[in-house]
Amino acid sequence: MWKLESSQLIVTGICSMEIKDINKKQVKAAKNKTSPRKINSLSTINEKPGNPIPKSAKRTAIKATGNKESEIFGNFLENIQEKYFESDLAGNLTFFNDSLCRFLGYSRKELEGMNYRFFTTDQEIAKKISQVFNIVYETGEPLKGLVWQITQKDGAGRYIECSVSLKKDSSGKSAGFRGVARDVTRRIQAQEALKASEEKYRKIFEGANEGIYQSTPAGRYLNMNPAFAKMFGYASPQEMIDSIINVGRQIYVNPRDREEMWRMLREQNKVDGYEVEVYHKNGSLFWISLNIHTVRDAAGNILYFEGTSVDITERRLAQEKFHKVFMTTPDCIVITRMKDGLIIDANTGFEEITGWRRSDAIGRTSYEINLWNNTADRDFMINELSSGRDIRHREFDFRRNDSSVRAGIYSARTINISEEECLIFILQDITGRKQTDEELQRTLDSLRKAFGTTIQVIVSTIEMRDPYTAGHQKRSADVARAIAAEMGLEQERIDGIRIASTIHDIGKLAIPAEILSKPTKLTNIEFSLIKEHSQVGYEILKDIESPWPLAEIVYQHHERMDGSGYPRKLKGDEILIEARILAVADVVEAMASHRPYRASLGIETAVEEIRKHRGVLYDNDVVDACLKLFRENGYQITDIFTNSFKKHVYRWDSSIKFQK
C-alpha cells in the first residue's frame, strides 16, 4: 500500500490511497530535456568557429572525458552511506554499490540480477511499487521520498526511503532505473511509536472518568473529552463546544468565580481544587472541583487553559447536611488546629455552653478564650491525640466566658482539613448531672448504711445466740469471695456473694439453741429441723430491698447439681451461680473447721471431698477455682474466732463490703 504526499511517496502495509496525478507539464518538459551528463561531456571539448575538430578527435576526447568521470563517479559511489542501485526496466539489479550489499546482507555475486520484488515479501506492496516505477517510466519525472519495507537476507525487516529516476541510453531511449536509498527504520519506528503513544493518550483522554478540557482566555472551549460534556448534560463534546460561546455567563453560576480563577491563573499559572457551582444543560445547578493550568507561548503569553473537573455535588450535599447537624446539635463542637489550638469553626452549642459568641472565638486559640481551667488537661489531650489515641468521655473542668467553672465531659479525635492536622472537640456540660449524681450518691450511701446496719444487726443477733454459726458464716463468706474472684466474676457480683454468705445461715435463728450446740449426733427429727433453716432464711430476707438476690442465694445454698440437695431439689442451671459458689465454700469451711460434735477434718480432706464430687454435687467451674485457690495459690482459711469466740465488729462502707 502507498500514498503520495508533498513530493514524498510512502509504500506501507497499512495505508491505502490513490496515487496523485503527475503534472503533465513536468512530463512534457522532462521529454524535451537534454541529458545534463551529455551536455557536460560535450562542453569539455575546445571547438572554435572556423577551426573544426575532426570527428575522430571528438570521439577520443569524449571517451577520455567519460573514463575520467566514470572513475570519479565510481569512487564517490563506493564511499557514500547511501545505497545506490541501477536496474533494467524489469527491475533486475544491474549495478549497485557496496553500501547496498552491506545493508541487504548479500554479496555482489548474489545480488547481481536480483529483482526488487525479492526484497518484499508482501505481494501487494510489490505490486504498488511496480506501479510507482511505471509512473516514473511513463512521465520521465523522478520521484523522491518513496518509502517501503524490505526484508534483509537474515529475515530482518527494515524501512528504506528511495529517490528513483529513469535511466536512458545514449540514444535517449529508456533503459532502466537508477536510485538512491537510505535506511529510515529508526525514523519510521519513532513515527509509529509516536502514533501509538498518541493513540494511547487519546484513549485515556476519551475514556477518563473525570472531565478534561481546553479553553481560551476569551471563554470558548477548544477541546474536551466525552466525560466533561456528559457531566454538563451534552450528548457530545462538539455539541458543547458549539453551544457554549461564553464560559463566564453560560457555565458559572457566579461569574466572579471565573474572574477569581482567571486572576489566580495569571499570577500562579495554576488553580488546584477550586470548588464552583455551575449550570447543567437543563438549567439545574451542580458543583464541580477544578484543577487548571495555563499554556503559554515562548513570549509568556497565555495561549489557552487546560483543566480537569470532578462532579462533587454529592460530597457538597453531604457537607451541607453535616454542617446543618454540626450547627444545630446541642453539644459544644469545636474544630481547632493541633499545632496551636487556633479555633477554625464552632457551632451554636459552643455559644450556649461556653458563653462565647462564635464570631468572637473563631480565629483565637482555646488558651486565649481561657477554656481550660487546668491547662494540664489540654496537655494530656494533645499528648494522647499525638500518640494516635482518641479520647472518649473524659471529665474535666472548663471555664465559661463569665469566668464560672463548670464540670464537663469531652471527646476528641484528630482530623485532616486541607492537608493540615486538626482536632474535633465535643463537649457536654455535666454540671447539673454531677450535682444530681452527687445527691443520688448521698442517698445511696444513706441506704447502704441503713442496709449495712440491718445486716450487722442480723449478724450480731446470730453471734449472740450461736457464736459458732457466726464464725462459720464469716469464714464461708471469705472462701466464697475468693472463689468468685478466681472465676473472674465482676466486682458487683462478688460483693453480693460475700453478703449472702455472711448471712446464709440466718434461718437457724428459728432452731433451738440446744440443737445447734448439741455435742453428739443429731436425731432424724433434729436434722429435719436443721434442714428447715434455708426456707426460714428465705422468708426472713425475701422482703428486704437489695441489689442482689440475697433471699434466693440463701434459699438455694444446700441444693446440689444432680438434684439431691434441699429444700427444692433444684439441679444444674436451675441453681444460681452465686448459690453454687456458696455451696462449695460452705462445705469446705464446715469440714475444715471444728464442729461442736467433732474436731476439724482438715483442709485437704475438705478439698478432696469437693474434687471427688465435681460435676455431680458441685459445679465444675466452681470446684476447679476452689482447687486452684487452695492447691496452687496457697489460700488458707483464717480462724478469726479465737479466745472463746471473741467478737469482732464489722462496719458497712460505701463500696458495700464488710471490713474489720
Give yes or no: residues 537 and 655 share one domain: yes
- Give the separation between CA 58 and CA 172, rounded to whole angstroms: 20
> What pLDDT, on a 0 to 100 scale, did the predictor assign at position 25?
42
Give yes or no: residues 275 and 418 share one domain: no
User: CA 30, 32, 37: angle at the middle one, nearest 5?
Assistant: 75
Residue 3: enclosing H or E segment and its boundaries? strand 2-5
- Give the separation between CA 120 and CA 159, rounded to whole angstroms: 11
Range of the domain at 489: 448-659
Give yes or no: residues 227 and 97 share one domain: no
Give yes or no: residues 300 and 274 share one domain: yes
Are the CB atoms for 117 and 91 separated by under 8 Å? yes
Give yes or no: residues 216 and 365 share one domain: no
Cα dist from 487 to 495, 577, 588, whole Å: 14, 11, 17
- pTM of whole model > 0.75? no
Cross-sheet strand order for the sheet of 157-168: 2-5, 8-11, 143-151, 157-168, 174-183, 83-88, 93-96
Give yes or no: residues 308 and 212 share one domain: yes
State the helix-helix crossing angle for 491-502 and 467-486, rounded to 10 degrees: 160
Last residue of a domain, one of 429, 459, 476: 429
Give yes or no: residues 134 and 183 share one domain: yes
Are the CB atoms for 290 and 261 separated by under 8 Å? yes
Which of 589, 553, 559, 584 minimizes the C-alpha distance to 473?
589
Domain total in the chain: 4
> What pLDDT, on a 0 to 100 scale, did the predictor assign at position 86?
93
Q: Is residue 250 part of a domain?
A: yes
Q: Is residue 357 part of a domain?
A: yes
| CATH code of the domain covering residue 409 | 3.30.450.20
> What pLDDT, on a 0 to 100 scale, did the predictor assign at position 41?
33
Residues forming beta bridges with residue 162, ordered by sequence position = 146, 181
Dihedral, CA atoms, 604, 607, 611, 617, nearest 10 degrees? 140
Q: What is the CA radius of gyration of the chain?
A: 55
Last residue of a domain, one of 287, 313, 339: 313
Residues 610-623 have pLDDT tens digits of: 999 999 999 999 99
Are the CB atoms for 582 and 501 separated by under 8 Å? yes
> What pLDDT, on a 0 to 100 scale, did the predictor assign at position 67?
61
Q: Is residue 532 part of a domain?
A: yes
Q: Is residue 406 part of a domain?
A: yes
Low-confidence residues in the chain, pLDDT < 70: 1-76, 463-470, 595-597, 639-660
- Give the separation between CA 424 and CA 334, rounded to whole angstroms: 6
- Give the separation between CA 9 and CA 134, rounded to whole angstroms: 14
| Beta-carbon contacts of residue 552 (< 8 Å; ≥ 6 apart) | 538, 576, 579
| CATH code of the domain covering residue 571 | 1.10.3210.10
Handedness of CA 48, 50, 51, 56 (dihedral sign): positive
| Beta-carbon contacts of residue 40 (< 8 Å; ≥ 6 apart) | none
List the alpha helices (DSSP H) in 119-158: 123-139
Cα dist from 100 to 8, 84, 106, 148, whole Å: 21, 7, 9, 15
Give yes or no: residues 406 and 454 share one domain: no
Task: Determine the length of the chain.
Answer: 660
Q: Is residue 269 part of a domain?
A: yes
Q: Is residue 200 part of a domain?
A: no
Q: Is residue 476 part of a domain?
A: yes
- Cell 481546553 identifies what position? 214
Q: Mean pLDDT over all residues of the chain?
A: 82
Residues forming beta bridges with residue 290, ordered by sequence position = 274, 309
Q: Is residue 318 part of a domain?
A: no
Give yes or no: residues 389 and 464 share one domain: no
Give yes or no: residues 80 and 223 share one domain: no
User: CA 308, 194, 2: angle at the middle one, nearest 5?
Assistant: 130
> What pLDDT, on a 0 to 100 scale, did the predictor assign at position 547?
85
Give yes or no: residues 295 and 337 share one domain: no
Give yes or no: residues 303 and 349 share one domain: no
> What pLDDT, on a 0 to 100 scale, did the predictor assign at position 51?
52
Last residue of a domain, one of 280, 313, 346: 313
